[in-house]
């Protein structure tokens, strides 16, 4: 008896990550400490948690150590095996909550799996037959050989509902029945271990961890169909699997479990391994058989089907590794046991090789019908680095992708096919938002083109031509008609290729077209790759990702060269509000920054602010009105002012109508001054005025000036009124005094700052803020600055909050308490004033279309929080009541303007354009600026087209020479952090929290830029 | 054989169980275009995917060339789905095929052209690849050019080379878009065991395989006034050439052929049949000598150069069984530059011998270093039947309206025995006629020897030949059939005295240089034309009766197997199978550039 067992994973992945060295160190350490007699070290097959290798499990406790190195061994032995203390630093950390979980049974990755095929993984030494037998190994075979007729075996497998795990899902029992009834005294049982999909490794792991299970399945199959010979076709790239198989075969022969007169039953079955050279097509059954015959592995037409005429024209059954690994247990435990889990038409479990952009890369086995989201998020631990899930590619190059809106899909043969993918052999590649759909399709098509055997025309020439079109699209050479051509070719190739490889090769294209057609169109029409993957389309990912394509690499280079005046000019080329954006932009650019793949992205936003803080503002001179057309802009927010500026620069007379007393829109009325000081905003608005734009404040269209008047007085009108109305919560008590909408509160606060700060107006001592967006945080932080005790109530989890992470952190630092998984049900009042808020706890259920889990109330979890005010910041919508219903301007069900088809800014009435939040619903500053640019371009283009003029050409600007200096080697270095007021000081006032980079900081940060824009 | 009922395009069809949809459709006059299938040699890889049809109940389209008919099956061969797929498949093929149709060797006789017409293709929407001709065209062989740019991967050539000829030189190399048909390790054809038979050319639906043309060279010597250009035509030419001008297969065009050759500018129009008769005298006597003196038996004919090369490569141990006689082409060349030179008083160096052959291997044979017994290269140029037709067209000769003309002396006269050399069994039949007469002193009662005629792969006959008693002979055509006899010899179970082997299935009438298409029906018609020439046209039907043969022995050769014959008409062979470098895998990997 040993007091402890150390189960060290010896699968291929852990071997690659160093388990042999760990084993050596362990043996030496145990010997050194004289523990060899007490503690047994077992090298197992693949444990499944491949990304965390080398993995070691210590029994009896079941403590799992991850990423163990030989250097860890002395400490590990000392702590765990001598002192009996778990060594924390090598334990698993759950990414979502960042907590350690010591034991296997508690780690969701393991706990949520249902192990049948993989039941012995990590538990037995695959090279010891007795360990397999001790786990009921060969019991099924013994039963089949001694007490069952071939017909009974086939019947049992049929009843179990087992379907071929190689991909097509053909009922295994049926396949056997065909082969059993085929005439001929020579038949073959073949095992397909030619696993070749990119990202698939389940067959290899089964062979490495439990080779006898496959042999057992083959003997049973042989008995069922009357075969006496078999082959395992395994690719030569799997040396460890082949080694273990060879060991297993010789052990089984030795033990009378294989060969002549198995178990004394008189039944003979012998098998050998045939090593394939690694052609993907050799996984196709007829090609595989041709290859075993010693010929070039090319498929042949069917019929005749292999069950009638297969290997060497003899009846043959070919089953995949995973299928065969199920057989022994089905026979031993019965069909009913097997079919007790799974879905109606897909029984049992399925093993998936979970790879790609997922925290827990590894091998997982789950019941058929498990939700895709469960596999990716609960078992897989979600997407690393807080990125968004985009799609999962199922079935490798023959499969398709399943996008975020189908995370609730139960993964079984039927559902997966319905969604346009295939189960395949179980490769499940998770892709985050940084993957381009077109590039993904191109990658798989490239694979198919390479792996096509070349025999039939559609596959040989068709994959080549489809790849050509896809490559063109990813290189910006796509043209109208390409998508239709791809669809046409896909249909013909599917319909006419000789074998499964060709027939399924178009699947990734069809499936990405189904779910991401818009991305194809963006590539073709706008040369835009939203994932910033297709490098031929852009200079740098940051610039490409910026909605207004700011020339980021140039201004960063100019910061490094300390030429800030030039840098400022570059900012102003595309952005009228650089000092605003330097503070409050959501910096999409940084999410695609290549530096982020190395350590952290460049602090682009902060560098932008540094420029505007430290360079003198370029002087603006009025542009004379040279054009006869007059333009009205409704709303002086970022969208309206940007459009006004662009149009004024082109010589138009522009008048802006603003309802509120000062221009700026959300920049002034929603964003608090501690984030965006008013003088900064005023400076940039003044620049717009300086061009000649007239801004009429306190002028609400429809109230202070009739709608009909602007309609008559102006040639074109740009409607950009924003979304200044809070969405109601729809609960009782919402009309009580002390209940505010988020934006309404902020607007009132910013309009009457003195009244609020002096205590003339007050929220009271305890404030609840409902919501998880930036408005909620802004309201909460304002309330905190007025001395209130603030609680944010959010119905999901922190990672689901739409607010910027920096803002959430800042709020936490300022002492704001955030409660998650909670939602209001009612507001209670007294004397018409808020007294308390009734809440209900939530749990997360299914996934919604955004890929987040939908909160569901937990019954009986209600509780009450006493508060003096409630701020409901759960969403905003535009107030378009100023637009007469009979104006012909179409407004949709979200109270937003509808745009004309084929236009990005024109409304349903040609004279009117619209943009910003009033079209999109609440969005970012930079999106509003982009919308303003778009509208100005479109209005100007429409005018010129009408006048028969040439399109506008940007006047030649001063050329700014951008230095190209880049370091030979970049050392890892994190982002320079932004100096800020400490939390205690800052909640005393509305002074700006972030203090701005010093010159040294800025240059250091600019030096981190990798200069992706370089043309080499 | 049971019958099944099915509907094709709403037509009720009864077809034998096991036949394919393609065959059943043909039965009722429905044309399903196809490029790769060649049922005559059992080649239906289902690869080109042009013959796709819709079958009710099937998920995808299916290939009619391989899918068996079934009871109650409903087939649609012209639905929109089918037509779209076919068109796209042909478009894809053409997208990767040089559109050199106007100047392609197979212009007007190309199956891909034809299929593109059938499917109604009007546009190829893809960019044509630019091929490096150096890389894609193999000019190394003296007989066959492999232009792999044009290959459509039907793999018919592979099957004919492998299963009919059992030479197995061609194989698919590389994968996917890079796939091409090539000798092992992508070696140039000349370094392979290719026997140059050209059956692959007949199999090729497009211009990917064709003979190495010598037309320009022949035009040049015809223009050269210092050269005296004589021409010989193999027996099979007269039975096939007409097809190149739209005549039905089996048209015998001897007179028009002679007239055409004169108009092309040949100084003398002679006939290979003359030396075919001579071969019978020499070979017949050689056989008698071997029988009488206990030489190596069975003796095997040596007229077919592809066969000779095959034997040299694959059965070098059996070379002693080959008759030492040169082929009629080479006998002719040697005599043209000796016997005819003397006769006409022309310096042999000024004589140019051109052969018109149904054969691509003859180009190789004429260039063999042994074939210079006249002191010069005996045969200067070899043109295939197809090349001759091209020259006639180029010269603006309206072949069909030509008058019949006769041969020149002294090498133009021939007997019926000479002419049937062109069909399988012909040499055997001609030899038996003469040997019988020589041994018994009287003619065979029936000069038509039926057992050696026809297209059976291996034919056997036993004849009582006077004092020799029963003589057992065998005839094989196509190298796969030859192999069966050779293996018998190796095993010591071949009790034949004499074997005729012709490299090509059907004999020279379907040589690799003949008109395309060639199939069994056409073979039979061409052979019939030759038997007609033998039985109805020629004055004499036995070689030894030919006055010109008698004359050449009287005036020049003196006697069969004599000194002159030995010098000019007999040859020896190379043990190629022993001498070819036996490359190992390692050697190939070490010299990748040589094999790349």
Task: Give the burial class of A52: count Cβ atoms within 10 A of its Cβ; 0-12 exposed, 13-18 middle, 19 or more buried.
Answer: buried
User: Do the Cβ atoms of A455 and B63 come within 8 Å?
Assistant: no
Residue of B nearest to A504 (CA): B60
For A368, residues 6+ apart whose C-beta sits below 8 A from its C-beta are A341, A342, A343, A346, A347, A348, A349, A350, A410, A411, A412, A413
Chain B environment of A462 (Cβ under 8 Å)? 88, 92
For B237, residues 6+ apart whose C-beta sits below 8 A from its C-beta are B257, B356, B357, B358, B385, B388
Ranges assigned E (strand) in B450-589: 458-464, 470-477, 498-502
Residue of B nearest to A456 (CA): B47
SS (H, E, C) A682-708: HHHHHHHHHCCCEEECCCCECCCECHH
Contact A126, A45 (CB under 8 A): yes
CA dist list (Å): B520 to A58, B41, B517? 77, 10, 10
Average pLDDT of span A698-726: 96
Contact A1008, A1001 (CB under 8 A): no
In this predicted structure, the answer to whether residue A519 has a pLDDT above a threshold of 50 is: yes
Residue of A nearest to B51 (CA): A496
Chain B environment of A506 (Cβ under 8 Å)? none
Q: Is the C-alpha dihedral spanning A600, A602, A607, A608 positive or negative? A: negative
Q: What angle do CA B263, B269, B274 make, to 5 degrees?
A: 155
Contact A607, A567 (CB under 8 A): no
The distance of B297 to chain A (nearest Cα, Å) reads 38
Contact B149, B464 (CB under 8 A): no
CA A461 to chain centroid, in Å, comes to 33
- Torsions phi, psi for B570 (to 5 deg): -115, 160
User: For A458, which of B84, B89, B153 is closest by C-beta distance?
Assistant: B89
For residue B326 the two structure tokens come to 């040169």
For A651, residues 6+ apart whose C-beta sits below 8 A from its C-beta are A623, A624, A625, A626, A627
| Interchain CB contacts (distance < 8 Å): A and B | 107
In this predicted structure, the answer to whether residue A728 has a pLDDT above a threshold of 80 is: yes
Percentage of the residues of chain A whose pLDDT score is greater than 90: 89
Three-class SS state of B502: strand
pLDDT digits (tens, 9 = 90+) for A199-242: 899 999 999 999 999 999 999 999 999 999 999 999 999 999 99
Residue B5's DSSP bridge partners are B14
CB atoms within 10 A of CB A53: 25
Q: What secondary structure does DSSP assign to A291-305, as a single string?
A: HHTTS------SSSP
Alpha helix segments (H runs only) across B495-554: 520-532, 547-552
pLDDT at A1016 (0 to 100) = 66
User: Which helix or strand (DSSP H or E) is residue A829 part of?
Assistant: strand A822-830
Distance separating alpha carbons of residues A321 and A328, to the nearest angstrom: 12
SS (H, E, C) B232-263: EECCCHHHHHHHHHCCCCCCCCHHHHHHHHHH
- Band of pLDDT at residue A93, cut at 50, 70 and 90: confident
Distance separating alpha carbons of residues A725 and A745, to the nearest angstrom: 11
Distance separating alpha carbons of residues B465 and B439, to the nearest angstrom: 7
Distance separating alpha carbons of residues B413 and B565, to the nearest angstrom: 19
Distance separating alpha carbons of residues A157 and A163, to the nearest angstrom: 9
Alpha helix segments (H runs only) across A400-506: 413-418, 437-451, 457-474, 482-496, 500-504
Residue of B nearest to A447 (CA): B176
- Torsions phi, psi for B53 (to 5 deg): -135, 165
User: Which helix or strand (DSSP H or E) is residue B137 part of?
Assistant: strand B137-138
Chain A environment of B174 (Cβ under 8 Å)? 454
CB atoms within 10 A of CB B67: 22
Alpha helix segments (H runs only) across A43-138: 73-76, 108-111, 129-134
Find the catalytic residue in B508, B510, B543, B546: B508
Contact A325, A117 (CB under 8 A): yes
Contact B478, B500 (CB under 8 A): no
Chain B environment of A489 (Cβ under 8 Å)? 88
B365 is known as an active-site residue: yes
Chain B environment of A459 (Cβ under 8 Å)? 176
Q: Which of A500, A502, A651 is nearest to A955 (CA)?
A: A651
What are the pLDDT tens digits along chain B (596 aa)? 699 999 999 999 999 999 999 999 999 999 999 999 998 999 999 999 999 999 999 999 999 999 999 999 999 999 999 999 999 999 999 999 999 999 999 999 999 999 999 999 999 999 988 999 989 999 999 999 999 999 999 999 999 999 999 999 999 999 998 999 999 989 999 999 999 999 999 999 999 999 999 999 999 999 999 999 999 999 999 999 999 999 999 999 999 999 999 999 999 999 999 999 999 999 999 999 999 999 999 999 999 999 999 999 999 999 999 999 999 999 999 999 999 999 999 999 999 999 999 999 999 999 999 999 999 999 999 999 999 999 999 999 999 999 999 999 999 999 999 999 999 999 999 999 999 999 999 999 999 999 999 999 999 999 999 988 999 999 999 999 999 999 999 889 999 999 999 999 999 999 999 999 999 999 999 999 999 999 999 999 999 999 999 999 999 999 999 999 999 999 999 988 775 444 444 444 455 444 33
Between the CA atoms of A634, A638, A643 and A649, what dihedral angle is there, to the nearest 10 degrees? Answer: 120
Alpha helix segments (H runs only) across A835-955: 917-920, 925-947
User: Do the Cβ atoms of B48 and A465 come within 8 Å?
Assistant: no
Find the catalytic residue in B54, B282, B283, B429: B283
Find the catalytic residue in B243, B365, B387, B500: B365
Q: Which residues of A touch B (CB under 8 A)?
A: 279, 296, 298, 300-301, 303, 449-465, 468, 485, 488-489, 491-492, 494-498, 503
CA B360 to chain centroid, in Å, comes to 7
Chain B environment of A483 (Cβ under 8 Å)? none
Distance separating alpha carbons of residues A274 and A235, to the nearest angstrom: 8
User: Do the Cβ atoms of B95 and A462 come within 8 Å?
Assistant: no
pLDDT digits (tens, 9 = 90+) for A571-592: 999 999 999 999 999 999 999 9
User: Do the Cβ atoms of A453 and B179 come within 8 Å?
Assistant: yes
pLDDT at A958 (0 to 100) = 83
User: For A461, which of B50, B60, B96 is closest by C-beta distance?
Assistant: B96
Which candidate in B35, B37, B49 is best for mutational testing of the A interface (most A CBs within 10 A)? B49
pLDDT digits (tens, 9 = 90+) for A695-710: 999 999 999 999 999 9
pTM for this entry: 0.92
In this predicted structure, the answer to whether residue A908 has a pLDDT above a threshold of 80 is: yes
For residue B90 the two structure tokens come to 């042909």
B40 is known as an active-site residue: no
Distance separating alpha carbons of residues A962 and A939, to the nearest angstrom: 33
Chain A environment of B47 (Cβ under 8 Å)? 455-457, 498
User: For A455, which of B45, B96, B126 is closest by C-beta distance?
Assistant: B45
User: Which helix or strand (DSSP H or E) is residue A39 part of?
Assistant: strand A39-44
B362 is known as an active-site residue: yes
User: Do the Cβ atoms of A496 and B45 come within 8 Å?
Assistant: no
For B151, residues 6+ apart whose C-beta sits below 8 A from its C-beta are B180, B181, B206, B208
pLDDT at B589 (0 to 100) = 45
The distance of B467 to chain A (nearest Cα, Å) reads 52
User: Do the Cβ atoms of A301 and B45 come within 8 Å?
Assistant: yes
- Band of pLDDT at residue A968, cut at 50, 70 and 90: confident
Q: What is the average pLDDT value for chain A, to the nearest integer?
A: 94
The distance of B517 to chain A (nearest Cα, Å) reads 24
pLDDT at B534 (0 to 100) = 96
The alpha-carbon radius of gyration of chain A (Å, integer) is: 33
Three-class SS state of A326: helix
For residue A270 the two structure tokens come to 């012998």
In this predicted structure, the answer to whether residue A98 has a pLDDT above a threshold of 80 is: no
Contact B33, B52 (CB under 8 A): no
CA B238 to chain centroid, in Å, comes to 15
pLDDT digits (tens, 9 = 90+) for A136-179: 999 999 999 999 999 999 999 999 999 999 888 999 999 999 99
User: For A461, which of B50, B93, B127 is closest by C-beta distance?
Assistant: B93
B283 is known as an active-site residue: yes
Tell me how far apart the terminal alpha carbons of chain B are, to the nearest angstrom: 51
Q: What angle do CA A509, A510, A514 make, to 5 degrees?
A: 115
In this predicted structure, the answer to whether residue A966 has a pLDDT above a threshold of 90 is: no
Q: In what order do the strands lie in the sheet with A362-367?
A: A362-367, A349-356, A427-432, A389-394, A400-403
pLDDT at A965 (0 to 100) = 84
Contact B18, A427 (CB under 8 A): no
Task: Give the burial class of B236: count Cβ atoms within 10 A of its Cβ; 0-12 exposed, 13-18 middle, 19 or more buried.
Answer: buried
**Largest CA-CA distance found in chain B, in angstroms, rounded:** 79
In this predicted structure, the answer to whether residue A96 has a pLDDT above a threshold of 90 is: no
Contact A394, A416 (CB under 8 A): yes
User: Do the Cβ atoms of B67 and A303 come within 8 Å?
Assistant: yes
The distance of A824 to chain B (nearest Cα, Å) reads 54
The distance of A392 to chain B (nearest Cα, Å) reads 27
- Torsions phi, psi for A43 (to 5 deg): -95, 120
- Band of pLDDT at residue A1014, cut at 50, 70 and 90: confident
pLDDT at B25 (0 to 100) = 97
């Amino acid at each position: 008896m040993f007091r402890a067992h150390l189960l060290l994973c010896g699968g291929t992945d852990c071997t690659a990550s160093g388990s042999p060295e760990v084993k050596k160190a362990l043996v030496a350490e145990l010997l050194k400490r004289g523990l060899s007699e007490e503690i047994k070290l077992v090298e197992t097959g693949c444990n499944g948690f491949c990304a965390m290798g080398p993995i070691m499990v210590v029994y009896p406790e079941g403590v799992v150590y991850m990423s163990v190195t030989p250097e860890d061994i002395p400490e590990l032995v000392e702590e765990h095996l001598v002192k009996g203390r778990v060594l924390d630093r090598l334990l698993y950390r759950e990414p979502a909550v960042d907590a350690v979980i010591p034991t296997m049974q508690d780690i969701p990755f393991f706990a949520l799996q249902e192990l049948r095929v993989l039941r012995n993984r990590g538990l037995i030494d695959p090279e010891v037959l007795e360990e397999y037998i001790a786990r009921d190994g060969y019991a099924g075979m013994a039963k089949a050989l001694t007490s069952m007729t071939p017909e009974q075996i086939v019947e049992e497998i049929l009843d179990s509902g087992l379907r071929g795990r190689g991909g097509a899902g053909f009922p295994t029992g049926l396949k056997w029945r065909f082969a059993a009834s085929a005439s001929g005294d020579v038949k073959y049982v073949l095992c397909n271990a030619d696993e070749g999909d990119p990202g698939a490794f389940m067959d290899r792991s089964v062979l490495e961890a439990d080779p006898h299970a496959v042999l057992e399945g083959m003997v049973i199959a042989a008995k069922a169909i009357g075969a006496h010979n078999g082959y395992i076709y395994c690719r030569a790239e799997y040396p460890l699997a082949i080694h273990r198989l060879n060991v297993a075969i010789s052990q089984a022969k030795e033990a009378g479990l294989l060969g002549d007169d198995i178990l004394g039953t008189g039944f003979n079955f012998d098998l050998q391994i045939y090593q394939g050279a690694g052609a993907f097509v050799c996984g196709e059954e007829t090609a595989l058989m041709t290859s075993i015959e010693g010929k070039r592995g090319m498929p042949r037409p069917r019929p005749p089907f292999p069950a009638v005429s297969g290997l060497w024209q003899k009846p043959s059954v070919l089953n995949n590794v995973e299928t065969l690994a199920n057989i022994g247990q089905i026979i031993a435990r019965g069909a009913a046991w097997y079919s007790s889990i799974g879905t109606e038409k897909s029984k049992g479990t399925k093993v998936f090789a979970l790879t790609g952009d997922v925290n827990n890369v590894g091998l997982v086995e789950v019941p058929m019908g498990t939700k895709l989201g469960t596999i990716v998020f609960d078992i897989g631990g979600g997407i690393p680095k807080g990125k968004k899930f985009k799609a999962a590619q199922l079935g490798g190059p023959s499969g398709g992708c399943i996008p975020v809106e189908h995370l609730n899909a139960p993964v079984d043969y039927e559902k997966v096919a319905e969604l346009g993918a295939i189960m395949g052999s179980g490769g499940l590649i998770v892709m985050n938002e940084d993957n381009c759909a077109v590039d993904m399709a191109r990658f798989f098509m490239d694979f198919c083109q390479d792996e096509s055997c070349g025999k039939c025309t559609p596959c040989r020439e068709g994959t080549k031509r489809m790849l050509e079109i896809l490559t063109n699209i990813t290189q910006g050479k796509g043209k109208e008609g390409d998508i239709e051509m791809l669809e046409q070719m896909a249909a013909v190739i599917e319909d006419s290729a000789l074998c499964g490889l060709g027939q399924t090769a178009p699947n990734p294209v069809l499936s990405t077209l189904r779910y991401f057609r818009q991305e194809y169109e963006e590539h073709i029409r706008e040369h835009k790759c939203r994932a910033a993957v297709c490098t031929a389309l852009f200079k740098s990912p940051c610039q490409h990702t910026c909605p207004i394509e700011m020339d980021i690499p140039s201004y960063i280079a100019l910061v490094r060269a300390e030429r800030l005046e030039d840098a400022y000019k570059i900012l102003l080329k595309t952005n009228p509000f650089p000092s605003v954006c330097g503070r409050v932009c959501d910096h999409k650019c940084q999410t695609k920054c290549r530096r982020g793949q190395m350590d952290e992205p460049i602090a682009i936003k902060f560098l932008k602010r540094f420029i505007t803080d430290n360079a003198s503002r370029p002087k603006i001179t009025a542009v004379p009105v040279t054009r006869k057309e007059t333009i009205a802009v409704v709303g002086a927010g970022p969208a309206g002012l940007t459009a006004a500026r662009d149009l004024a620069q082109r010589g138009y007379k522009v008048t802006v109508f603003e309802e509120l007393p000062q221009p700026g829109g959300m920049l002034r009325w929603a964003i608090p001054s501690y984030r965006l000081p008013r003088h900064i905003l005023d400076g940039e608005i003044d620049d717009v005025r300086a061009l000649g734009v007239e801004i009429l404040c306190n002028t609400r269209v429809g109230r202070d000036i009739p709608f009909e008047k602007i309609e008559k007085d102006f040639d074109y009108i740009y409607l950009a009124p924003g979304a200044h109305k809070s969405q109601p919560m729809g609960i009782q008590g919402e009309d009580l005094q002390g209940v505010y909408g988020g934006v309404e509160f902020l607007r009132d606060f910013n309009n009457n700052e003195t009244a609020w700060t002096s205590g003339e107006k007050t929220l009271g001592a305890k404030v609840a803020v409902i919501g998880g967006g930036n408005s909620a945080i802004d309201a909460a932080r304002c309330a905190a600055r007025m001395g209130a005790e603030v609680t944010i109530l959010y119905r999901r989890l922190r990672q689901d909050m739409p607010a910027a992470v920096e803002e959430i952190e800042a709020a936490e630092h300022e002492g704001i308490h955030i409660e998650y998984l909670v939602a209001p049900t009612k507001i209670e009042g007294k004397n018409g004033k808020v007294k308390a808020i009734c809440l209900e706890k939530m749990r997360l259920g299914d996934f919604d279309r955004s890929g987040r889990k939908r909160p569901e109330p937990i019954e009986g979890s209600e509780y009450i929080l006493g508060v003096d005010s409630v701020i409901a910041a759960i969403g905003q919508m535009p107030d378009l009541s100023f637009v007469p219903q009979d104006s012909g301007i179409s407004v949709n069900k979200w109270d937003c303007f509808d745009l004309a088809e084929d236009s990005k800014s024109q409304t349903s009435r040609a004279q009117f354009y619209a943009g910003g939040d009033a079209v999109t619903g609440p969005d970012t500053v930079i999106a509003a600026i982009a919308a303003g640019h778009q509208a100005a371009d479109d209005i100007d283009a429409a005018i010129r087209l009408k006048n028969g003029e040439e399109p506008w050409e940007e006047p030649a600007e001063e050329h700014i020479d951008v230095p190209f200096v880049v370091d030979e080697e970049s050392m890892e270095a994190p982002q320079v952090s932004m100096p800020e007021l400490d939390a205690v000081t800052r909640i005393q006032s509305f002074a700006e929290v972030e203090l701005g980079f010093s010159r040294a900081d800025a240059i250091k940060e600019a030096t981190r830029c990798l200069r992706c824009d370089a043309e080499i | 054989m049971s019958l099944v009922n099915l509907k094709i395009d709403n037509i009720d069809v009864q077809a034998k169980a096991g036949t394919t949809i393609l065959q059943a459709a043909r039965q009722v006059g429905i044309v399903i275009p196809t490029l790769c299938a060649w049922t005559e040699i059992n080649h239906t890889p289902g690869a080109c995917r042009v013959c796709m049809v819709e079958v009710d109940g099937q998920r995808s389209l299916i290939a009619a060339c391989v899918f068996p008919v079934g009871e109650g099956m409903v087939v649609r061969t012209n639905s929109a789905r089918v037509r779209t797929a076919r068109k796209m498949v042909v478009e894809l093929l053409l997208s990767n095929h040089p559109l050199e149709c106007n100047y392609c060797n197979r212009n007007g006789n190309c199956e891909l052209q034809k299929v593109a017409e059938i499917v109604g293709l009007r546009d190829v929407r893809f960019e044509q690849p630019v091929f490096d001709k150096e890389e894609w065209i193999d000019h190394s062989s003296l007989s066959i050019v492999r232009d792999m740019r044009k290959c459509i991967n039907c793999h018919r050539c592979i099957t004919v080379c492998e299963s009919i000829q059992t030479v197995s030189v061609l194989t698919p190399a590389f994968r996917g878009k890079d796939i091409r048909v090539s000798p092992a390790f992508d070696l140039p054809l000349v370094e392979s065991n290719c026997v140059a038979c050209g059956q692959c050319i007949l199999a090729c639906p497009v211009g990917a395989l064709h003979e190495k043309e010598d037309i320009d060279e022949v035009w040049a010597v015809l223009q050269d006034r210092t050269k005296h250009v004589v021409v010989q035509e193999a027996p099979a030419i007269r039975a096939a050439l007409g097809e190149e001008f739209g005549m039905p297969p089996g048209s015998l065009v001897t007179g028009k052929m002679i007239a055409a050759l004169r108009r092309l500018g040949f100084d003398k129009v002679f006939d290979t049949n003359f030396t075919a008769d001579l071969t019978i005298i020499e070979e017949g006597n050689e056989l008698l000598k071997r029988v009488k003196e206990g030489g190596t038996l069975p003796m095997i004919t040596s007229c077919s150069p592809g066969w000779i090369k095959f034997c040299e490569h694959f059965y070098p141990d059996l070379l002693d069984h080959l008759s030492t006689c040169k082929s009629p082409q080479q006998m002719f060349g040697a005599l043209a530059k000796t016997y005819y030179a003397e006769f006409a008083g022309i310096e042999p160096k000024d004589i140019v011998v051109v052969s018109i052959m149904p054969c691509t291997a003859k180009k190789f044979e004429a260039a063999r270093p042994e074939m210079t017994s006249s002191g010069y290269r005996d045969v200067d140029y070899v043109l295939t039947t197809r090349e001759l037709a091209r020259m006639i067209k180029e010269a603006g000769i309206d072949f069909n309206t030509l008058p019949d003309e006769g041969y020149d002396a002294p090498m133009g006269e021939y007997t019926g025995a000479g002419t049937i050399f062109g069909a399988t069994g012909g040499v055997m039949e001609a030899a038996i006629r003469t040997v019988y007469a020589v041994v018994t002193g009287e003619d065979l009662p029936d000069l038509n020897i039926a057992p050696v005629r026809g297209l059976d792969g291996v034919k056997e006959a036993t004849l009582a030949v006077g004092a020799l008693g029963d003589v057992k002979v065998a005839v094989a055509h196509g190298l796969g059939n030859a192999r069966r006899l050779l293996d018998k010899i190796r095993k010591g179970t071949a009790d034949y005295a004499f074997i005729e082997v012709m490299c090509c299935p059907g004999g020279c009438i379907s040589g690799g240089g003949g008109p395309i298409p060639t199939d069994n029906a056409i073979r039979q018609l061409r052979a019939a034309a030759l038997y007609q020439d033998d039985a109805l046209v020629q004055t004499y039907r036995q070689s030894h009766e030919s006055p010109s043969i008698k004359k050449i022995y009287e005036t020049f050769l003196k006697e069969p197997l004599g000194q002159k014959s030995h010098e000019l008409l007999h040859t020896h062979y190379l043990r190629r199978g022993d001498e070819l470098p036996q490359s190992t895998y390692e050697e190939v990997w070490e010299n990748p550039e040589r094999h790349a």
